[in-house]
Amino acid sequence: MALRISICAAVLVANLSSVMAAEALSEMPSPHGDYTIRILDKKLPGADFYFGDQTIALYHGRKLLSQFPTTGYLLQAYWSANGSFVAVNNRRGHEGDYLWVFSLRDGKAVRKPDDKLGDPKSFVPRITKRFADCTEDSLFRYYLIAMGWHAPNELKVRTDVRFYRTKLSDVLIDDVYAVSEHSFKLIRESLGPAPPDA
């Protein structure tokens, strides 16, 4: 009997831990707790059937600042030191553009996934100039994420690009972007082979 109670208690604790972990992935508060980014299990009217079955929402306290269609779950949220922006990595599939940038002043999405920056046609030519066999035809998959703030309004962005049937299989683009209320502009470029353990 005691063994059965112990097993039931262990199962209950494991289930509660799983639920708490799932909730932690769907909500990320700012360092001071005044803002929160959340993935909500609701579809906004007119949202895409596949990539809009959920909602990414930014709150200031209990006040909803903005919401946009998305899917998937939160990976990381990077809050700028000056309290102006949050960069959010929202995994929306096995590959692609995961990066949102929100203004904390009004909730505006300064950058949404799948803009020109997240289009392989915008970054593969940069790679091909340096590594000739890494072309669009040999592109396997990629993902684009924030890596943190370099300065209060300068965001480090990584695009990890994988190729097949090439000498080099993994290329990292580590760029820095200036972020303002109205723009997301490339200011420093870096591109090279990924380290063996990346």
Q: pLDDT, tens digit, for every residue of 137-174?
A: 999 999 999 999 999 999 999 999 999 999 999 999 99
Residues in the chain: 198
Structure confidence by residue, pLDDT tens digits, 64-78? 999 999 998 999 999
Dihedral of the alpha carbons of 39, 63, 84, 78, in degrees to the nearest 10 = -20
pLDDT at 44: 93
Structure confidence by residue, pLDDT tens digits, 14-67? 443 444 334 334 899 999 999 999 999 999 999 888 778 999 999 999 999 999
Name the pLDDT band for 9 (thresholds 50, 70, 90): very low
Average predicted confidence (pLDDT) for the chain: 87
Range 50-53 contact pairs with CB under 8 angstroms and sequence separation of 24 or more: 51/92
Which residue from 33, 172, 187, 158 is spatially nearest to 87, judged by alpha carbons? 158
- pLDDT of 7 > 90? The answer is no
Q: Could you give the CA distance from residue 45 to residue 36 in angstroms, rounded to a whole number?
A: 23
Residue 111: CA atoms inside 13 Å, Cβ hemisphere, count? 30
CB-based contact 114:97 (threshold 8 Å): yes
Which backbone phi and psi does 95 adopt, to 5 degrees?
Answer: -155, 170
Q: Could you give the CA distance from residue 136 to residue 139 in angstroms, rounded to a whole number?
A: 5
pLDDT at 139: 94
